[in-house]
Chain A
Amino acid sequence: MTGPPVPGQQEPASPAPGAYGPVRRKEDARFIRGRGRFVDDIQLPGMLYGAILRSPLAHARILSVDTEAALAHPRVEAVITGETLARRDLAWMPTLSRDVQAVLATDKVRYQGQEVAFVVATDRYSARDALELINVEYEPLPPVIDAERALDSGAPVVRDDLGKTSNHIFDWEAGDAAATDAAFASADVVVTQDMLYPRSHPAPLETCGMVADLDSVSGKLTLWSTTQAPHAHRTMYALVAGIPEHKIRVVSPDIGGGFGNKVPVYPGYLCTIVGTMLTGRPVKWVEDRSENLMSTSFARDYHMHGEIAATRDGRILGLRAKVLADHGAFNATAQPTKVPAGFFHIFTGSYDLQAAHCQVTAVHTNKAPGGVAYACSFRITEAVYLVERMVDLLARELDMDPAQLRLRNLLRPEQFPYPSPTGWQYDSGNYPRALALAMDMAGYDELRAEQAERRQRGEYMGIGLSFFTEGVGAGPRAHMDILGLGMADGADLRVFPTGKAVLAISVQTQGQGHETTFAQIVAQELGLTPDDVEVVHGDTDVTPFGLGTYGSRSTPVSGAAAVVVARKVRERARIVAAAMLEVSADDLEWTGGAWQVRGDPEQSATIPQIAMAAHGSVELPDGVEGHLDAETVYNPPNLTFPFGAYICVTDVDPGTGAVKVRRFIAVDDCGVRINPMIVEGQVHGGLADGVGMALMQVIAYDENGNCLGGSFMDYLLPTAVECPSWELGETVTPSPHHPIGAKGVGESATVGSPPAVVNSVLDALAPFGVRHADMPLTPASVWSAIQGRPLRTDLAVS
């Protein structure tokens, strides 16, 4: 199935048919006026403010919590401790990875920043003041900080609450070990490398927060919350707190960025809910930046060992990965697969190789929980980084150009649909075309010539490539769920008598522009304009159930639901049109955005004409109910597999270790693009993330478990001066199983760009004999690598 044409519409409202194109966003009108409505903008009469007391220590036994002085504060309405919650059986909550997490600590604190008590006061400042009045007596315990020491005998045990005697969480493997051994045995060349994908944090500009309001008369609990998954959160609150689900309304208003950070249920949310239950008044809680960075879901922290096998002439035969995964104090990875390492086993990437095997061991440490967050497509980020670094190292070993080595081994178009050695079914792709386009845009041969010339002059320029395959649109029921909830998404479409429509969807937007894109989808299917369609989202009372926006799943799943429901409406309209035009429905064809009598363009009916008739002015055939409204639930049959080819050009100053990203060329193929302007914007943002992760961002800890990335002074994010002007290219290979051939794209650039940057910097450093250095490649890290002393970037330098 091919997608509709993508006309280059430049005006805000595009005429039907052909609603796809760079339509200006509906959302912008409020944001450019300062009229967005974020959680912290909500102010209710009588509203109270919550604040969380957090542990200063990474590992300690709690001996006592004295709240007397805080309760005596004249503006304090309530103080909630672990004991308060334990009496309601709420001191612990389930995580999304079948573990439990403390809401407020009762026995021990297990990471710096863990939640210990919650104060509710009449204003923000008094709530903070009262935190100072709570006296917690701790007995410090030795912490486990280095994941590589977590399984040592005698290591302190983080999870004694589970009766554990070690910090081991799971061992898991995928692929065919014997076949991989055979592939390696037949290889001319084997290259191995240890590498760290360090702990990072999504850091959306808006931190997490909630306003909770319990109506004591009706029993209705309304929660305005920074959530990427309002329906899943509602179910979770019902299950955890025992509140009937129909008495809970979760509203996800405007959200200031998510990137995975706003998928989990955090202790602060539950405390806010308990706050309104105890006080009978609305309670607002908004975390500060340090709380966000130190306690909410981190990302990555994968200690990886890669091995790649090949023939001397550059044919890749096999790939192995052995991973030590640091999951922090609670196993709270927010990922939907039924296997524990997410999508990591897609690590054979974009290459045609015989056999692969990966093995993942996960451990607890005294660090914040998480691991899956930050636009990572459930660990594909780590997988792509591993294979793309290994391919580059292989190129160096073989003394081959890394682009040529990739072209030699990329999957060929005729191999799709492609069953991967670890069980994935890639839907569609034309990889060589994408890489060739990227090389052409970059002027690859000229760049290599320039590099050689500069090296003669003692200048260190790097050219780095990466090629990625993503799997997005979680996901098929057989393989995925969250807390037992399948990952289908609903859509309701109502068409009013005048032909205007309201689409209610289960996913919500944190900047993705759903109010525009989804209106374009419906408009395209019904011959309307995007302005004729209003999109309702982010409110569980008025939208159908679905699992939310993350993992680049909105377009692959909810977008498909929107297409399907619009086509249902169109089919209903066909029956009414047949009655209106006094012909058989079989004699009608959908053309030019209207139902038309075959061979008679004079005889046709548009959706607005049909809608009016369907609401009362035409005699309907027997069995036809009237109106055009429809609903659907979309179960994705497979993931969609976007891909891309990236090239990064850097200049490295060996005296200071400073890296400048001079150019970045990104060719993305995400199938049919509904709104290319929005797609390109998402790619831009992901590329900046990749530069940040490769060069700047890391959540490191010292030996006592003090978080060293607890503010934007320490956790460095890229600004406009670190980012080059991105150069984007596009190929279109439609997904064969998505109703309009679209694939997800939101995370593609975040997944694909870090290895391109790292490969570029290491290419620049090749004359120094540097094979590898870990992210982030800060000036200190690069300089140390040049001196032959690579840094451990996740621990404090002492």
Chain B
Amino acid sequence: MMQITVTVNGTSYRREIEPRLLLIHFLRDELRLTGSHWGCDTSNCGACVVWLDDIPVKSCTMLAAMADGRRVRTVEGLESGGRLDPVQEGFAQCHGLQCGFCTPGMLMTARWLLDHNPDPSAEQIREAISGQICRCTGYENIVRSIQWAAKHSEPAG
């Protein structure tokens, strides 16, 4: 067993864990933050995407121990002060989800994209989410959702 301290969505958690514990299971089973999902084991589907420090990572192929002393942001940390993030609004406005299983990972990638490219083209959006799989939407409305969010996001800085 080992001790780690991880700041998740602004709250610091200290936990005793097995060194082999995956970050996705730490978030879901230990912290009960079940918004991030596990879908494939092989880093292909992206249902588990969260931010580590400020970079999207696939938490099914990272150890919780690797997050020791670092910051994690999950879908539960998108809403702030009772206000939805524009990417959350965008997915609801443009029917960017059906079963909702891939949605949290898609939202985290979308937020990262818009932070770094506030006005992405459709091709840039498709490229950004190409490491993630959605089985329901055929991606069309996910692209539209992120475009909606780009239009409704406040300028960075």
Contacts and interface: CB of A to CB of B under 8 A. Distances in A.
A767 interface: no
Interface string A509-522: 01111000000000
A257 B135 contact: yes
B37 A256 contact: yes
Which of B89, B99, B133, B140 has most chain A Cβ within 10 Å? B99
A205 B33 contact: no
Interface in B92-134: 92-93, 95, 97-104, 107, 122, 125-127, 129-134
Nearest to B34: A41
Contacts of B38: 40
Which of A33, A35, A678, A723 has most chain B Cβ within 10 Å? A33
Contacts of B42: 289, 711-713
Which of B74, B92, B95, B122 has most chain A Cβ within 10 Å? B95
Which of A207, A512, A688 has most chain B Cβ within 10 Å? A688
B134 to A, nearest CB: 7
Contacts of B29: 43, 124
Contacts of B18: 125
B32 A257 contact: no
A681 interface: yes
Contacts of A30: 100
Given A40-B38, A720-B129, A712 B139 contact: no
B44 A713 contact: yes
B54 interface: no
Interface string A233-270: 00000000000000000000011110100000000000
Interface in B13-35: 18, 20-21, 25, 28-29, 32-35
A688 B103 contact: no
A685 B97 CA distance: 10
Contacts of A720: 125-127, 129-130, 139, 142-143
Which of A29, A512, A684, A720 has most chain B Cβ within 10 Å? A720
A717 B42 CA distance: 13
Interface in B67-89: 74-76, 78-79, 84, 88-89
Contacts of B100: 27-28, 30-31, 36, 254, 256, 511
Contact of B39 (A25, A29, A289, A684): A289
Contact of B20 (A125, A289, A713): A125
A290 B41 contact: yes
Contacts of B139: 684, 688, 719-720, 723
Contact of A34 (B75, B92, B98, B135): B75
B7 interface: no
A82 interface: no
A32 B88 contact: yes
Contacts of A513: 98
B50 to A, nearest CB: 10
B40 A711 contact: yes
B137 interface: yes
Contact of A717 (B36, B88, B92, B133): B133
B112 to A, nearest CB: 15
A332 interface: no
A511 B99 contact: yes
B51 interface: no
A36 B93 CA distance: 18
B45 interface: yes
A685 B102 contact: no
Nearest to A30: B100
A686 B126 CA distance: 18
Given A41-B34, A685-B135, A723-B138, A712 B45 contact: yes
Contacts of B126: 720-721, 723
B39 A681 contact: no
A207 B129 CA distance: 21
A360 B133 CA distance: 35
A218 B135 CA distance: 40
A259 B91 CA distance: 22
B27 to A, nearest CB: 10
A590 interface: no
Interface in A189-207: 203-207
B57 interface: no
Contacts of A35: 35
A203 B76 contact: no
Contacts of B8: none
Nearest to A675: B95
A38 B75 contact: no
A785 to B, nearest CB: 27
Given A32-B88, A34-B75, A711-B41, A124 B142 contact: no
Contacts of B91: 28, 32
B130 A719 contact: yes
Given A205-B101, A713-B42, A257 B125 contact: no
B47 interface: yes
B153 interface: no
A206 B44 contact: no
Contacts of B127: 720-721
A278 to B, nearest CB: 23
B99 A684 contact: no
B32 A43 contact: yes
Contacts of B55: none
Nearest to B132: A719
B5 interface: no
Nearest to B85: A32
A418 interface: no
Nearest to B74: A34
Interface string A397-426: 000000000000000000000000000000
A259 B135 contact: yes
A687 interface: yes
A682 B140 CA distance: 11
B93 to A, nearest CB: 7
Contacts of A725: 122, 140, 143
B136 interface: yes
A289 B40 CA distance: 5
Contacts of B104: 34
Nearest to B18: A125
Contacts of A205: 37, 39, 45, 47, 99, 101-102, 133-135
A33 B143 contact: no
A483 B6 CA distance: 52
Which of B21, B32, B78, B135 has most chain A Cβ within 10 Å? B135
A511 B140 contact: no
Nearest to A206: B101
Contacts of A686: 138
Nearest to B84: A32
A234 B152 CA distance: 47
Given A32-B84, A684-B140, A719-B129, 15 more contacts: A33-B78, A34-B76, A36-B101, A205-B102, A206-B37, A256-B37, A256-B100, A257-B136, A683-B138, A685-B98, A688-B139, A711-B41, A712-B40, A719-B132, A719-B139
Interface of B: 18, 20-21, 25, 28-29, 32-42, 44-45, 47, 74-76, 78-79, 84, 88-89, 91-93, 95, 97-104, 107, 122, 125-127, 129-143
17 contacts: A32-B97, A34-B36, A41-B28, A41-B34, A43-B32, A204-B101, A205-B102, A206-B99, A254-B99, A254-B100, A680-B95, A688-B139, A689-B138, A712-B44, A719-B129, A719-B132, A720-B126
